[in-house]
Structure 1
Amino acid sequence: MSFNLATILTESALGHPDKVAVISGAHRLTYAEIDAASDRFATGLRDQGIRPGDPVGLQLPNLPQFVIAYFGILKAGAIAVPMNVLYKADEIAYILKDAGTRMLITWAGVAEEAAKGASQAGVSNLVVVTIPGMPDTTLGTPFERLLAVAPDGPAVIHQPDPGDTAVIVYTSGTTGRPKGAELTHFQLFMNADTPGRLFGVRDDDVIMVVLPLFHIFALSSILDVCVRFAATMTLVPRFDPDTVLATIQRDRVTVFEGVPTMYVALLNHPGLDRYDVSSLRIGISGGAPIPAQVIDDFEARFGIVILEGYGLSETASTTTFNVSAEDRRVYSVGRPIWGVQVQVWDEHGQVLPPGADHIGELMVRGVNVMRGYRGNPEASAEAFSDGWFHTGDLGYVDEDGYFFVVDRKKELIIRGGYNVYPREVEDAIYTHPAVAQAAVVGVPDDLLGQEIKAFVALRAGLELTAEELIRHVKDRIAPYKYPRLVEFRPELPVTAAGKILKREL
């Protein structure tokens, strides 16, 4: 048996050749055009010496070239290694070395840093994308040169085993050096096909892609899903509320997928009323827990339902999901998708019963769980217990099988012997109308071990004192949970995917 994930593109091109696959500003590419371009790119990779099983670094923003290169890499039988465009040379070099990459595909905006990292890693094969408006660079091979190589005869897609690695996604490295999660062709197909069917993605959907494609959420849950069901993607290279709202209006976007900070920014945007967002039919949130107040306010303001899901890089993205407005448990992350099991374990490895009083670590096994960490058998072994993957997330399950994520295990605050979950405190903070962003962390305290501190960014034009916020939160949660320390900032630091960077705070 053989299967290549790129089959989802060839099949959609066969069934919908003239359907617009990608919108990028004023440019539109059909499924037939993307399929043919990725065929040529695969041929170009082979001419550059890339062979089946070779990892290829893919460091591009949300551009059509990302889509073409991604499927070209897969068609050539190589392994895609998505990389953050904001990485510095040392970070680039680390991932290139760790994955054993043979080539790095980058773009002119970061070519100098990419070239330094590639040189440090001993990777001499550098391919550079240049887009209009950017200065030309003499670094590396132009992307177009690989596209100029026509296949000798009918395009041939390499046929790997379904269990072979298709993509290596690196973790964020919050607890040490990033680790490369190896995801297979079969896992990624299942994580496109199953959620897409559950959610009801249609070929007439226009789906916003503002999350970076090098992140597992966008790669697996948006790009792969869109291509599997021949939907249209509209690419936005960087999140900006005005750009996103203008794109929704221009392209009649039907599905918005984002992380909580994006929903907060759109909801609080002072110019929101200037845009027509009536085409939206649904919102999808993931990447981090979304505050309950944000869900309520956004749904009321935009007139759509937000469906929340849960997953990790190691689980090929989707693990649990609220599949529809009719079959959801608001504030939960839904139920496990087909082929996936989730349990809640205590610290002794015992399965906990349902109920909010039984909080433990979420454990996952199923078709979506990675093969292991690239070249790191020790970390791979530590990540599993009896075939179950340790997510590092704390949560509980209710009587109907809906899961609720409470917080990251490592972010748990223990104040004077009491467990405090930052998300619960953040939810209380977000109920104040002046708050735009909030993050709660534990800071060292000589008496209590840890004290609770809140970092807060306010909505434009509104004022709030620390004492007023503390009083507001104190009225809503137990006395040992409210923050004693509050620090206001103009904005909170976020990752390229829009998650608040608590480790910096």
Structure 2
Amino acid sequence: MRHAARQYGRREFLRFPDTSLTFEDADAQSDRLAGALIDKGVRSGDRVAVMMDNVPGWPLSWLAILKAGAITVPVNVRYRSADLEHVLRDSGAVATLTTAEHVPHIPGTVYALDSLSGSAPARPVPVNPHNPHDVANFQYTSGTTGFPKACMLTHDYWLRTAQIAADQARLRDDDVMLIAQAYSYMDPQWATLLCLLGGIPLVVLPRFSASGFWPAAREHGATLTYVLGTMPLLLHKQPPDPLDRENRMRLVLCSGIRPDLHREFEERWGAPWRELYGSTESGPDLVVPIDAEETVGTGAMGMPPPGKEVVLDEETGEILVRGVPMMTGYWNHPEATATAFRDGWYHTGDLGFRDEHGYIHHAGRIKDMVRRGGENISCAEVESVLTQHPAVLQAALVPIPDDLWGELPKAFIQLRPGHSPGAETAMSVIEHARQRLARFKIPAYVEFVEGFSLTPSARIEKRHLARPDQRSAPAVFIGLTP
């Protein structure tokens, strides 16, 4: 940030609907905020949560927390009591930075950004000389199993991730980056750093809108963007517009491009779409070069960028990764860290195969999670909340295929004696979950079962749940609104 403020000065850095900040503005405002945090007692190594919508205060808070020597804990604004309390308790956050509308919902020490920003005098903050391997973020992800875990991501991790994306895009001086995902996710954060590296503007939309995305791209002159999950399909479902190709977009980065729609995407909007595969744990693992036209429609996810090795496990076909960038581990979960990095490789939980050109393709997952659009849902977390309902004895969450969302969560529920397996009970369980979990985690379907087949370790054997002939008894099935 310091370098960008010196190098690019009054160039535009952050563009929000009602606000534009230069690189100098962002440096000065994050200095003021860092000073306020230090005055409140935040010290090096402390964890400070950030729970805001897509407002300028989010990237400014991130920069300020790091300038104060602390660690940022991004929190999804859609979290409710169960998932919010888990993240704040597990991370040991000393405070949460937020905006006025979210203050009543957050436990613990909470600072509204407007009042905090005005509480400290404008002064340069002496930035502690960070080691590149100091942790910058506790980035929560569902990982492979269990409740959300914090990936410990270093300053080096973030800078390398942004540089890989910049190299893949062949960043230019006249580029404009557009992002529509929530700032608590990875993508706006690495996009922020990409713009710091290149001295270009980042246009931040309040939220993703399928009808508004391309008009916004035209309005802002965007040349680069990143989409994932359901975003491409929702864009594709919009009626064709004579202005579809009237844009400056020169590259769309995307994770999980539908092979059968890939060429149609490019022809409709007049820009190449290229794969960027990775994870919170490992950053970018595979990239497709901007000029690799031969990959269009093939499903190829690319080759490893410099610093990364990617291989396939000989027995299972699982995609294994090592190199940099890479998280330093899961906070508070040494066993999960050891499991994820066994034999010196990060085990992605994704299956793949290599084509005759050396490109790796995705071939499914072996994780106990549901990927609903761009969201990762921990099955264990949802199951824990469902079983807290007085009518539920046991619950199992599994992914089911969906044309729009990719996967939707389906809950198999065994009821306690005395409760009826009908719509009223299902809606009671779902309402219970709605009060405690983010909306995207709520099951879209409920199926009541008499019991479950168990493994030798007395765990529910989920692999049978996808096969009706393997279930223990006839079930009552109820579809809910996704």
Shift of 1:328: 6.2
Contact 2:144/2:367 (CA < 8 Å) preserved in 1? no
In structure 2, the CA distance between the partners of 1:407 and 1:73, relative to structure 1 (3 Å rule), is same
Look up the match of 1:290: 257
Is the 1:55–1:80 Cα contact (8 Å) retained in structure 2? Answer: yes
Asked if structure 2 preserves the Cα contact closer than 8 Å seen for 1:263 and 1:294, the reply is no
The residue aligned with 1:393 is 350
Check 1:389–1:437 CA distance in 2 against 1; reply closer, same or farther (3 A cut): closer
Aligned residue type for 2:127: I
The 1-side partners of 2:204 and 2:409 are apart by 34
- Counterpart of 1:47 in structure 2 is 39
Given the alignment of the two structures, is residue 149 of structure 1 paired with residue 121 of structure 2, yes or no? yes
Flag the 1:182–1:440 CA change in 2: closer, same or farther, 3 A: closer
Whether the 8 Å CA contact 2:262–2:273 is kept in 1: the answer is yes
SS of the residue corresponding to residue 281 of structure 2 reads helix
Counterpart amino acid of residue 210 in structure 1:
A
Specify which of 88, 91, 98 is matched with residue 106 of structure 1: 98
Deviation, 1:411, is 7.1
Deviations 1:91-110 (CA, angstroms, capped at 9, x unpaired) = 22211111111110122332
Alignment partners' CA distance in 1, 2:193 and 2:18: 23
TM value normalised by structure 2: 0.75
* 2:188 aligned with 1:218: yes
- Of residues 236, 239, 243, the one that matches 2:212 is 243
Q: What's the CA shift for 1:87?
A: 0.6
How many angstroms apart in 1 are the aligned matches of 2:246 and 2:101? 32
8 A contact 2:144–2:369 mirrored in 1: no
Aligned partner of 2:366 in structure 1 is: 409
Instruction: State the Cα deviation string for residues 144-199 of structure 1 (Å, max 9, x = none).
Output: 335x4322xx4311112211111110013673211001011112111112331232
Residue 141 of structure 2 is aligned with which of 158, 168, 171? 171
Which residue identity does 1:285 align to in structure 2?
Answer: C
Q: Which amino acid aligns with 2:48?
A: V
After superposing on structure 2, the runs of 4+ consecutive aligned residues of structure 1 that deviate more than 6 Å are 440-446, 487-491
Look up the match of 1:96: 88
CA distance in 1, matches of 2:368, 2:336: 20
Residue 300 (structure 1) aligned with residue 267 (structure 2): yes
In the alignment, is the contact (CA less than 8 A) between 1:195 and 1:337 conserved in 2?
A: no
Q: Deviations over 1:279-322 (max 9, x none)?
A: 11111112xx232123222112111111111111111x311111
Aligned to 1:253: 222
Distance 1:437 1:155 in 2: 45
1:375 aligns with 2:324: no
Counterparts of 1:312 and 1:80, CA distance in 2: 18
Q: Distance in 1 between matches of 2:340 and 2:205?
A: 35
Residue deviations 1:252-271, cap 9 Å, x none? 11112111411111121127
Partner of 2:48: 56
Q: Cα RMSD between the aligned structures?
A: 3.0
Distance 1:200 1:158, change over 3 A: same
1:336 partnered with 2:304? yes
How many matched pairs? Answer: 397
Q: CA distance change for structure 1 residues 56 and 272 in 2, over 3 Å: closer, same or farther?
A: farther
Question: CA contact under 8 A between 2:144 and 2:349: conserved in structure 1?
Answer: no
Query: In structure 2, do the counterparts of structure 1 residues 150 and 215 end up closer, same or farther at CA, with 3 Å as the change threshold?
Result: same
Tell me what 1:128 maps to. 112
The aligned residue for residue 198 of structure 1 is 168
Distance 2:275 2:94 in 1: 38
| Cα distance in 1 for residues equivalent to 2:320 and 2:226 | 25
Correspondence list, 1:439-478, <5 A: 439=407, 449=464, 451=466
> How big is the shift at 1:201?
1.8
- SS of the aligned residue for 1:175 comes to coil
Structure 1 residues 237 and 489: CA distance shift in structure 2, 3 A: farther
Give 1:210 shift. Answer: 0.4
- 1:362/1:393 contact within 8 Å kept: yes
Distance 1:266 1:412, change over 3 A: closer
In the TM superposition, what is the alpha-carbon distance from 1:243 to its structure 2 partner? Answer: 2.8
Specify the SS of the correspondent of 2:358: coil
TM-score (norm 1): 0.72
Which digits, 9 at most, give the CA deviation of each residue in 1:182-238, with x for residues without a partner?
011112111112331232122321111101121123322x22212221121111121
The amino acid that maps onto 1:102 is: V
Q: Determine helix, strand or coil for the equivalent of 2:361.
A: strand
Q: How far apart, CA to CA, are the structure 1 residues paired with 2:168 and 2:304?
A: 11
Aligned mates of 1:292, 1:452 — CA distance in 2: 28
Describe the SS at the equivalent of 1:400. Answer: coil
Q: Identity of paired residues, percent?
A: 29
Secondary structure, in 3 states, of the residue corresponding to 1:318? strand
Q: Deviation per CA, 1:359-401, whole angstroms, max 9, x where unpaired? A: 6111111111211111211111111112211111111223433
One-letter amino acid matched to 2:302: G
Deviation at 1:490, TM superposition (A): 10
Map residues 314-325 of structure 1 onto 2, 5 A cutoff.
Answer: 314-315=281-282, 317-325=283-291
How far apart are the structure 2 equivalents of 1:276 and 1:366? 39
Displacement, 1:274?
5.6
Per-residue CA distance 1:63-94 (angstroms, 9 max, x = gap): 11111111111111111111111011232221
SS of 2:225's partner is strand
SS at match of 2:295: coil
The alignment status of 1:77 with 2:69, answered yes or no, reads yes
Residue 267 of structure 1 pairs with residue 236 of structure 2: yes
SS in structure 2 of the partner of residue 335 of structure 1? coil
**Cross-structure match for 2:417:** none
Residue 440 of structure 2 is matched in structure 1 by none
Structure 2 SS opposite 1:314: coil
